[in-house]
Structure 1
Amino acid sequence: MPADQLLNDKAAEKQAEKQEVKGYFETTGFDRWNRIYSESSDVNKVQRNIRIGHQKTVDNVLAWLQEQGNLGGRSFCDAGCGVGSLTLPLAQLGAGSIAASDLSEAMVKEAERRANESGIAPGRVSYLASDLESLSGRYETVVCLDVFIHYPQEPAEEMVRHLASMAEKHLIVSFAPYTPVLAVLKKIGQLFPGPSKTTRAYTLREKGIVQAAEKAGFVLKRRSLNKAPFYFSRLLAFEKA
């Protein structure tokens, strides 16, 4: 197969998968994940454990950021904000400005609704429905939590470099790390909650993610592994070298 044709086929496949993920989170996925990332009791055991695990990751990030000092005057990008699990508490802690984005317009609208309901002043957060590839701008800190489960290894590394190009000082990312246990879970389809698993779930090798950040001029400063049954998330914090 000619090289150009191979590239075109890969690009088409990537675009098709992106649309599949977007469609999922605009419909079935939105309802499911909106319930998971809430206080709703209408969740099963797996979904409840994912809620617990994700909250551990968010709490970890908030603790790390607060250790750096006053959040006022600092700019943040919450790339893949979902329904605002990180954006809302970050705003409530006094972050200077936050750009919150997500592939799903439904997720972005819900994040904005929750912010308004929480009394966060309009203008404190800017909202954008966008894929990660289309994001631009410069922020002191760029955070991307539990989004790379939709990216295979090489595209995930490319995305780390892209997000790093937007970060002036700090880059924080999380992903499902490759382990034999997660490889088994992936095969039996338990990385997504509920019977409708219309999107793929990828586990990533940490070494490749770290090397991608290093090539973009960042050094690894902190790492942790947050887990609950059916939830595994490696959290890495980088600083500009």
Structure 2
Amino acid sequence: MAQYDDTLTRVEDYFDRTATKTWERLTSDAPVSKIRETVRAGRDRMREVMLSQLPADLTGQRVLDAGCGAGQMTIELARRGAQVTAVDISPSLVEIAQKRLPRDYTDQVEFAAGDMLCETRGTFDHVLAMDSLIYYEAHDIGDILAKLSPRVGSSVVFTVAPRTPFLMTFWGLGKLFPRSDRSPTMIPHAPARLARAATTAGATGTLREVERITSGFYISTAMEFAT
């Protein structure tokens, strides 16, 4: 998974070098621009959609928050009673998430900076990956699902950028710039292509589209891979 590793490194560098402060503000109650307000609203709605795919009571279940960011999803999972492993490639974001976690939930959450695919983290009932796979090619996502599926008892719920005309144009323009001079670019995907990639990679399960959220500049599709 050489391409996966290359993308992982670029994403880590981007967030720790340039995006941490922006992300910290976006995921707080601090005032932001009108454009970022739409992104914040879209992410809030997407979090609700993803959580709706899991039981309301997660007591006794292990959940991997893959790409936990500043910890908003982590807190909601802990509120439902889950034992949460919250992982992010950015140590800076993990530190923010740790500071924001209410003390009542500290015994339920284990934080870690690093690769969400690390096998030493064990097995899970569910995996949530909100906006953490959006920079990867279809074959990489297929490989990720293949690696996770034997370790997940129920489902992997994740988001991707949909193949809309707007996002395809944005993606095409982004490819005109040298990779070293731009942030990681979202790669739009069609559900059928992702399903084929998962099958080719050997992932055992069923992939379906849950819901697409469009809120200003935030456009994302929730997917569920039932194992």
TM-score, normalised relative to structure 2:
0.86
Gaps of 5+ in 2: 175-180
Query: For residue 193 of structure 1, what is the aligned residue in structure 2?
Result: none
Structure 2 counterpart of 1:150, from 125, 129, 135: 135
Find out whether 1:134 has 2:118 as its counterpart: yes
Between the two proteins, the alignment pairs up a number of residues equal to 218
Label 1:211 to 1:120 Cα distance change in 2 as closer, same or farther (>3 A): farther
Match of 2:103, SS? coil
Deviation at 1:235, TM superposition (A): 0.7
Match of 1:120, SS? helix
TM-score, normalised relative to structure 1:
0.81
Gaps of 5+ in 1: 1-9, 190-195
RMSD, aligned α-carbons? 2.2
Which of the pair has more CA radius of gyration?
A: 1
CA contact (8 A) 2:87 2:112 kept: yes
> What does 1:39-78 align with in structure 2 at a 5 Å threshold?
39-41=29-31, 43-65=32-54, 68-78=55-65
Query: For residue 123 of structure 1, what is the aligned residue in structure 2?
Result: 107
Query: For residue 3 of structure 1, what is the aligned residue in structure 2?
Result: none
Label 1:109 to 1:216 Cα distance change in 2 as closer, same or farther (>3 A): same
Deviation at 1:75, TM superposition (A): 1.0
- Give the percent of matched residue pairs that are identical in Structure 1 and Structure 2: 26
CA contact (8 A) 2:191 2:208 kept: no
Find out whether 1:105 has 2:91 as its counterpart: yes
Query: For residue 214 of structure 2, what is the aligned residue in structure 1?
Result: 227
CA contact (8 A) 2:130 2:159 kept: yes
Larger deviation, residues 24-33 vs 131-140: 131-140
Label 1:15 to 1:174 Cα distance change in 2 as closer, same or farther (>3 A): closer
Deviation at 1:30, TM superposition (A): 0.8
Label 1:197 to 1:32 Cα distance change in 2 as closer, same or farther (>3 A): farther
Deviation at 1:128, TM superposition (A): 0.7
